[in-house]
Amino acid sequence: MEQAKVDYKNIFYPPGGILIWILIILELITFGAALVALTVSSKDDPAQFHRSRLMLNVVYGTVNTLFLLTSGYFMAVSIRSLKLNDIKRSAFYIKLAMSGGVLFLFLKGVEYSEKFSHGITLGYNTFFNFYWLLTGFHVIHVIVGLVILIFIYSGLKKKKEEYDILDAEAGAAFWHLCDLIWLLLFPMLYLVL
């Protein structure tokens, strides 16, 4: 395969464009502030936070971490393939990335269902208020990310030749944001408190 051309006049322009990076920074600030609030709140009743954390299934959280990290890897390989103008391979890896996101949502749904069946809902206690809000907001990001990946995949399937990489890079940046947010949430909710 022939390597895609590099636009050297935009070499310092972030992959995906500046707007996606502004969004990513704002999202990280939002989640960061929420995690700081979680930490501060945990100091008010550390025993409750510890007992509540023990009610979470660490195996589910770990497996979901593996799903998202693997999915992020496949997304990176997809972008690399696209830069080499291998659209067919890029589309294949985006399908694998989407599969990881779907598996994440499925397992998170199982976890949510178990919490609901035990009466652990929003309002149960302060820890679970943070749990539901933070993980729920993250799930929304994963769903939006999957929709973005579906659009990218559809575009790749329609194009048999070159594809504008800017859209794919922006989608990949958002998808990696979902990975990064989960890498912050998982230890804070499942392991630390």
**pLDDT tens per residue across span 14-65:** 667 778 888 889 999 999 999 999 999 999 999 999 999 999 999 999 999 9
pLDDT of amino acid 193: 63
pLDDT of amino acid 7: 52
Decide if 3 is inside a domain. Answer: no
- We report the CATH number of the domain holding residue 50 as 1.20.120.80
Which pairs with CB-CB distance under 8 Å and at least 24 residues apart come from 31-35? 31/134, 31/137, 31/181, 31/184, 31/185, 32/184, 34/130, 34/133, 34/134, 35/134, 35/184, 35/185, 35/188
Query: How far, in Å, are 32, 63, 122, 126, 135 from residue 51 at the CA level?
Result: 23, 22, 16, 12, 18
Decide if 111 is inside a domain. Answer: yes
Q: Which residues span the domain enclosing 126?
A: 15-192
pTM above threshold 0.85: yes
User: Any idea how long the chain is?
Assistant: 193
pLDDT of amino acid 3: 47
pLDDT of amino acid 161: 64
DSSP-assigned letter for residue 56: S
pLDDT digits (tens, 9 = 90+) for 130-153: 999 999 999 999 999 999 999 999
pLDDT beyond 60 at 91? yes
CA 2 to chain centre: 31
pLDDT of amino acid 12: 57
Decide if 77 is inside a domain. Answer: yes
pLDDT beyond 60 at 100? yes
Locate 23 and state its tokens. Answer: 């969004």
Decide if 10 is inside a domain. Answer: no
Of the candidates 141, 122, 120, the one whose C-alpha atom is nearest the C-alpha of residue 184 is 141
Number of domains in the chain: 1
Decide if 100 is inside a domain. Answer: yes
Decide if 2 is inside a domain. Answer: no
Decide if 5 is inside a domain. Answer: no
Decide if 25 is inside a domain. Answer: yes
End-to-end Cα distance, the chain:
50
